[in-house]
Amino acid sequence: MAKKTVILTGGAGFIGSCFLWRLNREGFNNVVVVDDIRDDLKWKNLLGKQFINYFQKDDFLDILETGDICGVKTIVHLGACSSTVLSDAAYFLKNNYEYSKRLALWADAHGAGFIYASSAATYGNGSNGYDDSEENLDKLRPLNIYGYSKHIFDLWMLRKGLLRKSTGLKFFNVFGPNEYHKGEMMSIICKRFEDVRSGEPLALFKSYHPEYRNGEPSRDFIYVKDAVELLYYFFTNSDKTGIFNVGTGEAHSWNEVAEAMFSALGRMADIKYVEMPPDIRRNYQYFTQASLDKLRGSGCRHKFTSLEEAVKDYSSYLENNGYL
C-alpha cells in the first residue's frame, strides 16, 4: 500500500492519538496531525508517536484549502467538541458541523478518502433503536446539542451523496488510555481509579427511571484498543462506506463497570449511589447497545475484549502513566 499522506484531525486527542499509535505500528508515519493543544496534558498523547507535521485546528482549513498539503490519501476526521454538558449551540455548529463540511468537500474534490467520527449520542433515548442504516437517520432525535451537531452532519453527508464514498463511525462509550485531558468527559474508570485504589467507595449516580434500579442503567462500553481496530479496518478497506456503529453489541451496567474496577484492583465491590445533577438528569441516556449487523455484514470479524479484560488492561496503564 502506498504510504501517501494521512490527515488526522483530533490526532492529539483520546481516540485520535490511539489511532496514530495504531498507524505507526503498521508503518504509517506520513501523518499530518491537526488538533487544538492548549493545556498541559493533551500534548503528552503525542509522545513517542511518529508524524510529519502538526497544525492547530483553527489554522488548518486555510492551509489545506490553499493547496499547501499534497498527496493526501485519506482524511480521518476525529476532531470535535464532545462535551455533553456544554450548551453553546453556535460553537458546536461551527466546530462540529461547519468545520466537518469543509473537510468533506475538500476530500471529495481532491479524490481523498474521508472517514469521520459520528456518535451514539445521535440515537437519543434509543426509542428508535440503535440501527446504523442510513434509512434510520431521519427518525433519530438526539438529546443534547453535541449529539445534534453530529446528527445533522450525518444527514448532510447523506443528502449530498457523500456517504456512498465516505465512512461515518458512530462511537459508543469509549474508554481507555490517553483520556486524561478530557476532564469531566473522562470515563468513570479514569476519573475514579485513584479513589478506588486508595480504598474509597465508588460513587455512581442514582437512577431516576422506574425501569432501572440504582447502578443498572447500561451502556455499550468499548475499549479504545477495540475502537481503533475497527477504525483501522475501515481505513484499510476504503470500499466499506456508509455509517457504521463502533460498539461491542453488548450493554453493561454501571454496576458491572464498578465491579470490574474493584476486581482489577483486588478489592471487594464497595459502591454508593449519589444524586445526579439536574442538568444531566434531564437528558440522560439509560441504555445504549450498538447493532452490529451492518458491521458484520461488511466483513469485519473483530473479536472484542471483554469488559473485565479491558478494565484490567486499562488499570495497568493507570497504575503507570495512563498513556498508550
Is-contact 243 150, C-beta < 8 A? Answer: no
The pLDDT value given to residue 70: 82
Same domain? For 40 and 121 the reply is yes
CA dist 231 and 155 (Å) reads 21
324 within a domain of the structure (yes/no)? no
The pLDDT value given to residue 322: 67
Domain that holds residue 122: 5-174+220-249+289-304
- Amino acid (one-letter) located at 213: R
The pLDDT value given to residue 2: 47
CA dist 275 and 103 (Å) reads 41
CATH, residue 120: 3.40.50.720
* CB within 8 Å of 216: residues ≥ 6 apart: 207, 253, 254, 255
pLDDT by position in tens, the chain (length 324): 446 899 999 999 999 999 999 999 999 999 999 999 887 688 999 999 999 999 999 999 999 998 878 899 999 999 987 665 566 788 888 889 999 999 999 999 999 999 999 999 999 999 999 999 999 999 999 988 889 999 999 999 999 999 999 999 999 999 999 999 888 889 999 999 999 999 999 999 999 999 999 999 999 999 999 999 999 999 999 999 999 999 999 999 999 999 999 999 999 999 999 999 988 888 888 999 999 999 999 999 999 999 999 999 999 999 987 678
Quote the number of domains for the chain.
Answer: 2
- Amino acid (one-letter) located at 112: A
The pLDDT value given to residue 31: 97
Same domain? For 183 and 281 the reply is yes
323 within a domain of the structure (yes/no)? no
Q: Which residue has the cell 498539503?
A: 69
CA 199 to chain centre: 30
114 within a domain of the structure (yes/no)? yes
pTM of the model: 0.94
- List beta partners, residue 53: 32
Instruction: Indicate which residues carry an active-site annotation.
Output: 146, 182
The pLDDT value given to residue 98: 94
Same domain? For 150 and 210 the reply is no
Same domain? For 82 and 116 the reply is yes
- List beta partners, residue 31: 6
> How does DSSP classify residue 168?
E
CATH, residue 265: 3.90.25.10
Instruction: Looking at the chain, list the stretches that DSSP marks H as alpha helix, in order from N- to C-terminal side.
Output: 14-25, 57-65, 89-92, 99-109, 145-159, 188-197, 224-236, 254-264, 278-281, 293-297, 307-318
Q: Which residue has the cell 493547496?
A: 67
* CB within 8 Å of 291: residues ≥ 6 apart: 129, 130, 131, 132, 245, 249
